[in-house]
Structure 1
Amino acid sequence: MTAESHLDMVAGMDVSSEDTLHGKFLVFKVGSEEFGIEIRHVTEIVGIQKINEVPDLPGYMKGVINLRGRVIPVMDIRTRFGMSDRDYDERTCIIVVHVDGETSGLIIDEVKEVTEIADNQIEPPPGRSAQTGQYVKGIGKVNDEVKILLDVQRLFYA
């Protein structure tokens, strides 16, 4: 799917109340793993675009983009998780999220879907010894697959 079709999918959701978004996650790939973030944090999905570097940012913060007149800092999830770099391609997207009054972008390899995961299908994260463990909110079970559910707030502030 393209960034535009995923944007249409997110835009078509009923965001009139927090309850309608409970249990809904935007699932995306980074490397061979599938991750999910709560859809309530997602404002839009855009294709990769020119990123302006800013001096003195942490290495995982790639810089800022100008999105329709708004300057938005962007983080590369691969770099944040200590994964090897790869060239951006036509599937690379920026997920624009709004957390604690701040808008930021997450650069990911590929958007997969919006899925619902019931609370009873989410388990606590395993031991936090892995480098990405501090950002993991839980492990969602969807059919025979698992989705690593991320705490978006901790991605930026941990």
Structure 2
Amino acid sequence: MKENRKAIVFQTGNGEYGISIKNILSIEKLDKITPIPHLPSYVSGMIKVRDELIPVLDFNKLLYHVEMSDLHTSRLIVLKTESITFGIIVDEAKEIVDIPEQSLKQVGILAYSNAKYFSGVVNLSDRLITMIDPEILVESLESIKDIKEYVEEKKEEMHA
């Protein structure tokens, strides 16, 4: 029997996206985000979640180059990768779904260089969910090195 995987499904723009639950730390209501100057426009700023300072990415801006419309109903999905913990702002965190391995398809557009972090498309009977690999996402971002350095500096200042 093929293995099922669990993923959090969320909505951003008109699309449904999924991230494996193994990378999800939490889903939060948005609190005050502290803006950081001179970072790429898709970085909304920094936020403190459970005493950890994390960068916040606006997923609408990253994918569609449009700012998130309603921050009051938006959610923050906190993700952990090997190199950094970060948050993504999404329109709505919808559900946890089981993803049967046979429903995960590789699609030609996924090879497009600006979307290397799309790991496949889940073809369920009534919908398509684009899967995202947070490890590839964070490493593909322009200025990630600067963001990581900034986070480390702020952590050191907080503990000094």
Q: TM-score, normalised by structure 2?
A: 0.78
Paired position in structure 2 for 1:38: 20
RMSD: 2.0
Paired position in structure 2 for 1:135: 117
Give the 5 Å matches for 1:106-125.
106-125=88-107
Paired position in structure 1 for 2:55: 73
The runs of 4+ residues in structure 1 deviating greater than 3 Å are 128-132
Code of the residue aligned with 1:30 in structure 2: it is: T
Identity of aligned residues (%): 27
Code of the residue aligned with 1:51 in structure 2: it is: I
1:21-58 deviation line (CA, Å, top 9, x unaligned): 96111000001110000110001000011110112222
Code of the residue aligned with 2:35 in structure 1: it is: E
Code of the residue aligned with 1:40 in structure 2: it is: K
Any gaps of 5 or more consecutive residues in structure 1? 1-20
Paired position in structure 1 for 2:81: 99
Q: TM-score, normalised by structure 1?
A: 0.79
User: Is 2:72 the counterpart of 1:82?
Assistant: no
Does structure 2 retain, via aligned residues, the 8 Å contact 1:97–1:103?
A: yes
Higher share in helix:
2
Code of the residue aligned with 2:8 in structure 1: it is: L
User: Is 2:108 the counterpart of 1:126?
Assistant: yes
